[in-house]
Amino acid sequence: MKKKPIIAMFLFGLLLIPAVLASCGKIPAASSSGGEGFNWLLNVISQLSSGIWASLMLFAFTIIFSMPLGLLVCFARRSRFKVVELITKFYISIMRGTPLMLQLIVVYYGPYYVFKIPLTPQYRTYAAIIGFALNYAAYFAEIYRSGIEAVPKGQYEAAKVLGYTRAQTFMKIVFPQMVRHVIPPVTNEIITLVKDTSLAFAITYIEMFTIAKQLAAAQSNIMPLFVAGIFYYLFNLIVSFVMGRIEKKMNYYTH
Amino acid sequence: MKLLEINNIKKTFDDLEVLKDISISVEEGEVVSILGPSGSGKSTLLRCATMLETMDSGTLSYCGESAVTEVDGKSVYAPKVQLKKIQNYFGLVFQNFNLFPHYTVLKNITDAPIHIQKRQKGEVVEEAMSLLEQMGIADKADYYPCQLSGGQQQRVAIARALAMNPKILFFDEPTSALDPELTSEILKVLRFLASEKMTMVIVTHEIDFARNVSDRVIFMDEGYIVEQGKPEDVIDNPENDRVRAFLAKVKG
């Protein structure tokens, strides 16, 4: 049932490309034959492609690192040891309270300014991934925490009376229920991440948006930015589709 | 043999003294009902007995094995290994069932016996199925708790507790979340268990049920046991004024 609107939205997204192109006077399509406009689009896409790849890489590695890291941060935040809890709270408040762009700059340029360690292009990629992972881990930690706290106390008590250890209770009883609770907010976060990858331009990490901006400047035409926008949009359609499927799959029970 | 022995238990929450000085012992095969107004400490007593709550002072033992001893007027809990063993002696059925919503009925019942008690899977499943049969819900084995009525959920919860083969089973207001029709389903199950000589301690507001099924009734008020004895004595001819007043109210 739910599939249909998603597909409709997807098609709408695809239709948007020529529609936007045609509506703009600056583009070749309006002034000359349709074939030229198509070639121009292919050209833009091929120039964007290395950036698309870089954006996808950053996205994928951020997810791979930040989602498990978020769970560790969440544990630390819920620690019985007050010191650990306070340090984690401070970490989360810094990550959420300052711009991601600033954090990226600190991670990338920090070692150079503080320790005079020379900057390398390789480190640029690492810095982007580290900066994003640290930032997103803080958000995921808070989402996980809300998911864990939504599990009723009675579940812990039932598990305890049945003899489950604390670890078993978490793994078998709490974690699966938490996962279900957090899927909608995690989807939100992932969608934001897709768009946030464009912030990596702050440390001159060449991703899709950086290239689109360069193309726009070189052609003095806003259309390359629109094309980039359409790619973000399409990618997020896929994200919502996949997450929607996962959410539906987890809906085999209710409370 | 005494399955449960509680002596001089005291429990305070912040400044509120909930259990003031309570001693209870339960013999094998005995069915004990605990009655009393809300806030009298019935549930806290059960939660201390099942170690969901730690007691401040007093002792607790199951089958002659100490779970809690008293040193200088303070409760001291036995080492973890000992508690782990004692944990197997009792089961608890909650007012709100507390089934695991992400597990099927069968998995709710079999998971702990298989993974905690490390028993043979085949044997556990067989036993679980026969428990479900007894509860009249064998056809629900593959359902999720949310697909069942409250009465059915509570029967699953009882089966889950029984599957651990406890020597004594506690019930914390097992019918309070159910309507009268579903309540009678559960009371039927409890009557059946009583006829099978299952040792049970039941916190309940069902006065008639307590009279018909229990061997002994305990009446609690304000953290004390104010009266206990045979159901016909406590319920029909109470000596204590507060018991009389309470019973007059609930009987209407």
On whether any CB of chain A is under 8 Å from the CB of B160, the answer is yes
Q: Which amino acid does the sequence have at B113?
A: P
Residues from chain A that touch B87, judged by Cβ atoms under 8 A, are 161, 163
The verdict on residue B152 lying in a domain is yes
Are residues B94 and A157, on separate chains, in Cβ contact within 8 Å? yes
What band does A22 get if pLDDT is binned at 50, 70 and 90? low
Element of type H or E holding A181: helix A175-196
Which residue, among B83, B3, B93, B7, has the nearest Cα to B51 in the 3D structure? B83
pTM of the complete model? 0.87
CA distance B85 to chain A (A): 9
- How many of the other CB atoms lie within 10 Å of CB of A51? 24
Are residues A155 and B92, on separate chains, in Cβ contact within 8 Å? no
The verdict on residue B27 lying in a domain is no
Q: Residue B118's domain spans which residues?
A: 100-165
Res. A10: pLDDT tops 80? no
| Predicted local confidence at residue A14, as pLDDT | 64
On whether any CB of chain A is under 8 Å from the CB of B223, the answer is no
The verdict on residue B231 lying in a domain is no
Degrees to nearest 5, angle at CA B49 with B46 and B51: 110
Q: Which residue has the tokens 């935040």?
A: A77
Weakly modelled stretches of chain B, pLDDT under 50: none
The verdict on residue B8 lying in a domain is no
- The partner residues of A203 in beta bridges, in order of sequence, read none
CA distance A72 to chain B (A): 24
| Predicted local confidence at residue B237, as pLDDT | 86
| Predicted local confidence at residue A121, as pLDDT | 84
Number of compact structural domains in chain B: 1
| Predicted local confidence at residue A145, as pLDDT | 97
- How many of the other CB atoms lie within 10 Å of CB of A199? 21
- Token pair, residue B143, equals 């359902």
CA R_g for chain A: 22
Angstrom distance (rounded) from CA A110 to CA A106:
5
The verdict on residue B111 lying in a domain is yes
Beta strands in B159-249 (DSSP E): 168-172, 199-203, 216-221, 224-229
The whole-angstrom distance between residue A57's C-alpha and the CA centroid of its chain comes to: 11
The verdict on residue B209 lying in a domain is no
Element of type H or E holding B22: strand B16-27
- Token pair, residue B154, equals 């509570």
Q: Which residue has the tokens 């989360």?
A: A92
The verdict on residue B130 lying in a domain is yes
Nearest to A253 among B50, B117, B146 (CB): B146
Which residue, among A232, A201, A230, has the nearest Cα to A217 in the 3D structure? A201
A–B interface: beta-carbon pairs under 8 A: 55
What band does A25 get if pLDDT is binned at 50, 70 and 90? very low
pLDDT tens digit sequence for A82-141: 999 999 999 999 999 999 999 999 999 999 999 888 888 889 999 999 999 999 999 999
Strands B2-13 and B168-172: unpaired
- The structural domains of chain A, ordered by start, are 59-247 (1.10.3720.10)
What is the distance in angstroms between the CA of the first residue and the CA of the last residue of chain B? 39
On whether any CB of chain A is under 8 Å from the CB of B118, the answer is no
The verdict on residue B158 lying in a domain is yes
Residues from chain A that touch B146, judged by Cβ atoms under 8 A, are 253-255
